[in-house]
Structure 1
Amino acid sequence: MTEATPAPTPRLLGLRQAVVDLERYAAAQGWDGPVYVFALVRTARALADSPALAQELPPEAVEAAREDPEHLTSIEQDGLPAAETLEELLSQLAWPEQVDGAAIVVERMVVPPEAEAGLPNDPAAALQQLLDHPSRQDVRMAAGVLRSGESWCALRTRSNDSDDAVAGAPDAVPGLVEALRATFR
């Protein structure tokens, strides 16, 4: 007998919706986009702290906050620090206490492990060989974490580029989830 998966908490449901919305936001911009980083704040608390914010948010977000205290508002981060790698970028981020969570949307190329066997020593030639591999998949990954520990990931492949083909799970991209969690330490 297997143990039943517990029902998601309201907090996890709020995070899941925010991450899915962010993946759709990136999808609307098209493929080959930049890295997007977002602060996540509980909408109801943000409105209580700053009532004038209601004029800046979409009406549906204000209404959602009235009905759901776990509803999250995403704030895109501009002016990110220069970084050579995603890991370096995330290692430079830290969040003030008012931020309840963080999310990131990135695109990556995925190939089967055997595609990396026998790659040329020249980095440019190796990259081109991977780009030309017939089993290559382009994947957009959106991951979000809350300060309280919850996480959610949404994944879309270029070959199945539709909203109803987006997969999701709390730990679908564990390395990305852990790197985001580290921004709160």
Structure 2
Amino acid sequence: MVNEPAPDLSATLPAAAREVEDFVSTGGWDQPTQLFALVRTEELLSREPGLADRIDSAASLTPIAQDELPDGDLGDALAGIVWPDGVDGCALAQEIVVLPPEAEAELPSGEEDGELARRIAAEHPHRREARVVAAVLRDGTAACVLRLRGEAAGEGDEEIIEHPELAPNLVDALRATFQP
């Protein structure tokens, strides 16, 4: 039997980020921030064959939901995370408020003004609610997915945007969870 080469995880990371966003979106809106470990599906199935009927064996990476993050500052919570060797990456889903660029320029920028900026953004007439999923691998590769919440009650006009640089601060915080 010939061993097949390991999949290029960086090529499959965007699909894992979309899978996390799809999973979280099934629960609707107004959810807490959620953290996921990303592990190689093949290795997971070799350790836990009983999961074969519950996960997509064709996917290179499988997201595994983690315990709820503690209340408080997300940066502080992420700074306390250390992943075991069997974790190849992680993803975080967080609901955010998106403002037009001209409105963002008007927000206070000091760290002590963070709560004021959040309150102003939440009350801004042109705000859009969104969910961002940022995913990173141990090697630093990143992928992000952003779902803009529909403005109508039916929410049928939701828009999805994908780009690895959608959430640079969040990506950096997730990368730091893999640093010694």
Question: Within 5 A, what are the aligned runs for 1:4-19?
Answer: 10-19=8-17
Say if 1:11 and 1:116 are closer, same or farther in 2 by CA, change over 3 A: same
Query: Is this contact kept in 1: 2:34–2:68, CA < 8 A?
Result: no
Deviation track 1:106-142 (CA, whole Å, cap 9, x = no partner) reads 011123224536xxxx998876553332111112100
- Structure 1 segments (4+ residues) deviating >6 Å: 122-126
SS of the residue 2:140 aligns to: coil
1:35 paired residue number = 33
User: Which residue identity does 1:78 align to in structure 2?
Assistant: D
Which structure has more helix as a fraction of its residues?
1
Whether 1:105 aligns to 2:93 is: yes
Query: Is this contact kept in 2: 1:95–1:183, CA < 8 A?
Result: yes
2:24 paired residue number = 26
Say if 1:163 and 1:13 are closer, same or farther in 2 by CA, change over 3 A: farther
Query: Is this contact kept in 2: 1:115–1:133, CA < 8 A?
Result: no
1: CA distance, partners of 2:71 / 2:97: 19
2: CA distance, partners of 1:88 / 1:138: 24
Say if 1:24 and 1:151 are closer, same or farther in 2 by CA, change over 3 A: same
Identity of aligned pairs, percent?
37
1:75 paired residue number = 64
Gaps of 5+ in 1: 1-8, 66-70
User: Which residue identity does 1:87 align to in structure 2?
Assistant: G
Tell me which of 138, 145, 159 is aligned to 1:147.
Answer: 138
CA shift, 1:48, in A, is: 2.4
Say if 1:128 and 1:48 are closer, same or farther in 2 by CA, change over 3 A: closer
Deviation track 1:30-89 (CA, whole Å, cap 9, x = no partner) reads 11111110000000122223434425x33xx12x05xxxxx1111100153x24111111
Query: Is this contact kept in 2: 1:23–1:105, CA < 8 A?
Result: yes
User: Which residue identity does 2:76 align to in structure 1?
Assistant: E
Q: How many residues align?
A: 164
Whether 1:166 aligns to 2:160 is: yes
2: CA distance, partners of 1:50 / 1:147: 22
Say if 1:164 and 1:123 are closer, same or farther in 2 by CA, change over 3 A: closer
User: Structure 2 length normalisation: TM-score?
Assistant: 0.78
Gaps of 5+ in 2: 1-6
1: CA distance, partners of 2:114 / 2:86: 43
2: CA distance, partners of 1:86 / 1:31: 19
1:86 paired residue number = 74
